[in-house]
Amino acid sequence: MAKKVLSIAADSALRISRQLILEQAGFEVASASGVEDALAVCDESRFALFILGQTSSEDESEKLAKLLRKKFPGVPFLELHSHGTPYLPKADYSLETMDGPEALVLTVQRILEKAEEKAGMKAAPASEKSRPNAQRA
C-alpha cells in the first residue's frame, strides 16, 4: 500500500513537480497551496507525512505547522528549505531543496520507514500483553 504524503507549497510548479517525483517513487501524494487548502485536504484523508515547502510567508508556514501538529499529533513534518537555513523550528526533519529529487525521495522513504518502525515498536508490547489473555480464554 502506498504511503500518503501531503506536500504543501505556494508555487504550483513546485507542487506539481514534487508530486510527480514522489508518485514515480511509489508514494500517494496530495498537494496543497496553503493553510486553508491543506486543512481541507486533511479532512478528506489521513497522511503519513507532511512536507512543508515554501509557502507565501514564514508566518503562514508556522501557522500551518502549528495547526497540523495540533490536529494530527503523530504525523512527522519535513521542511524543505533553500539557501542553507531552515526557518520552521517545529519541523521534525529538514532538507535543502538544492539536494535534488533523489535526496527528496530517499529522505521521505527514511522518514516513513522510521515512523513505521516506531509504530511497530509501540504496537508490539500491547499485542504481547494481550496474547496470554487470549490463550486462556
pLDDT tens-place string over residues 10-44 = 889 988 999 999 999 999 999 998 888 888 988 87
The pLDDT value given to residue 19: 94
CATH of the domain at 77: 3.40.50.2300
Q: How confident is the model at residue 109 (pLDDT cuts 50, 70, 90)?
A: very high
> pLDDT tens for residues 83-107?
766 566 667 888 888 788 999 999 9
Structural domain of 99: 4-136
- Which residues touch 38 (CB under 8 Å, ≥6 apart)? 6, 8, 32, 50, 64, 68
Answer yes or no: are the C-beta atoms of 59 and 16 closer than 8 Å: no
Structurally, the chain folds into a number of domains equal to 1
The pLDDT value given to residue 88: 65
The pLDDT value given to residue 137: 39
